[in-house]
Amino acid sequence: MFHTLLIANRGEIACRVIRSAQRMGLRAVAVYSEADQDALHVKLADAAVCIGPARAAESYLDIEAILAAARQTGSQAIHPGYGFLSENENFAAACEAAGIAFVGPSARAIAAMGDKAAAKALMEKADVPLVPGYHGDNQEPDFLLARARDAGFPVLLKPAAGGGGKGMRVVRAAGEFKTALAGAKREAASSFGDDRILIERFLERSRHIEVQVFGDTQGTVVHLFERDCSVQRRYQKVFEEAPAPGLGAAQREAMTRAAVNAASAIGYTGAGTVEFIAETSADRPGELTGKFYFMEMNTRLQVEHPVTEMITGIDLVEWQLRVAAGEPLPLAQEDIRRSGHAIEARLYAERAEREFMPSTGRIAALALPAGEAGLRVDTGVETGSEITAWYDPMIAKLIAHGKDRAEALARLARALPDVFVAGVHSNAAFLGRIATSAAFREAALDTTLIERERAAIFPAPASPGIEVLAAAAWATLRDEARAHPEAHDPHSPWNIPDGWRMNQDAAHEFLFLDKDAEDAPCTLQLVFAGGETLLVVDGARAPLSVTELPDGSLSLRLGARSFKARVAREGRILHVLAAGASRRLTLKDDLEAVDAVAGSGSLAAQLPGKLVAVMVAAGDKVSRGDPLLVIEAMKMEHTLSAPRDGRIAEVYFRTGDAVAEGAQLLRLEDEQGGGKADFG
């Protein structure tokens, strides 16, 4: 076994690998870009080396910089994590040439399976069933359109050289094909440096089931059972679980055998995942028909590997390191057992209600559930960390294990309401609604679940609950008291937010504006009378008592109800989590005037990025909903559309320009020349 390991990655996976390496007695070396100098993985490592600017192409994708860091630190092995260079055969070959162990498969195996088109050709020769489509080299648009017609619309466009949902497009009609193809090629080239696209018939109702495989240098290949990854948004996974619900023994045997055969055919070593599309019943969502097709093989560790670890008790990173050191697999196939059920939820910095737009900024406060048996939290950020537009916006993964699916799901559903993220938006509430939805609870899983359950998962905005308002009001008084010059004295009456007045009652009135519901007003009072505190909302009164706990959270009792809350202040905004509900509130007196443009239906550059397409020019007439331009940020494309009918008066940027968050992108006016609105 080597003594020093360099992790050529960042964020949650870098932290994950560091912990296993250090537990095994290895010295863990981190690399970081200039944007990540204060990142959690840098703090956890035994040593760290800066490898370049924030842009991934100049840091985390710079093979020479990473190899130089390995030589500088005496690293004998490099773990690539997932994403970045993890499936880059040139990187694996460069490590080998430098005499450094690559913790992953050979360059030859990566080339065979990392190229999705080549992998399909290989599986076709091995008689593994494939989805109808095209995976050849001819990339001429008219030729690809003809192949799409042969496969039958709708079709799915997929990058030949990558995965993770980036560059994928569903095309439902021939008239949409070339526009979608151009976008898919742009995103594929940006993410993977290769714009080749393959075509598959799009199965409207299907399940995504994958098999974890492992090979060693002695020629042994085993599987560690399967995972279901069907619940997805924008073709990226949101929930994963193991084992796959409703998968019969015969189909499990067929899938795992096919996966092991596929890995054995290329002499695979290390951790890999063979992914299948499984058909489901048209009448009963999630029910498998028995038909499945090879989709792709990922020649790396997967984001969702913790669910496999939870049901097998095996540390997959430790296995990776032992295999890379030339050791045989620790267990034979017959000795690998599974126990219980595990479910993972991915916590992202994003706005689910706005088509999952990533959210950037500083994490002002972060609290993740911990301490419960059977609950694991993997994260790469902490309070104070920055979510930037340069990298994936993942905050954490919550993984729950139980004796069966019901117990695992109950444990996860209890944990999600305790997630508190301030400073950036998160999808915590969205995850909680999925976890408690009838469809997910009943395992009616397929890739359409989020759309099928849209009404339940994306409910109309509701007023903040009384629990949220109570916590916000009390925290406001507490902060005002602590702002007094004498508040540092724990015995000072200024340090007690109880509203006490000599010989009289006291009342504090609050007018909060709900930032998550277009500044809807919320009025309440805290009345201090006869030694108790009363919360008054719409004339109804209830006694309120609050205890501040050592971890900074609040324990509140409101009438007969008891609940916990967290409150964090970020400038004028109060981030409140109470009784499982999260809200951003602002005291009206603290508000500045609202820009008149904000209410005009205009768009904003929601996050910094690069302008990759401009579909309009000055003088063009547009209708509400027409696409205007496309910004690439966080490795994904985001289309900005017209908020109303009108005429383009001016376009401020050109294709290829970098745009800052909030930048004015173009100006829209009505057809008579009035009613101008800046897009910025």
Q: Is the bond leading into 459 cis (omega within 30 degrees of zero)?
A: no
What is each CA distance from 73 to 46, 47, 102, 540, in whole angstroms? 11, 8, 16, 66
- C-beta neighbour count of 71 within 10 angstroms: 13
Report which residue type is found at 48: A
- What span, in angstroms and rounded, lies between the C-alpha atoms of 570 and 574? 6
Three-class secondary structure of residue 357 per DSSP: strand
Burial of 206 (0-12, 13-18, 19+ CB in 10 A): buried
Closest by Cα among 607, 661, 632, 605 to 191: 632
Paired tokens of 478: 């507490």
Which sequence positions are flagged as catalytic? Answer: 300
* Torsion sign across C-alpha atoms 220, 226, 232, 235: positive
Under DSSP, is residue 603 helix (H, G, I), strand (E, B) or coil?
Answer: coil
DSSP 8-state secondary structure symbol assigned to residue 634: T
Q: How many CA atoms lie within 13 A of 265 on its CB side?
A: 19
Q: Is 62 exposed, middle or buried (0-12, 13-18, 19+ CB in 10 A)?
A: buried
Closest CA to 228 of 283, 261, 284, 273: 273
Task: Match 């995504």 to its residue by tokens.
Answer: 208
What sections of 491-545 are H helices per DSSP? none
Radius of gyration of the chain (CA): 27
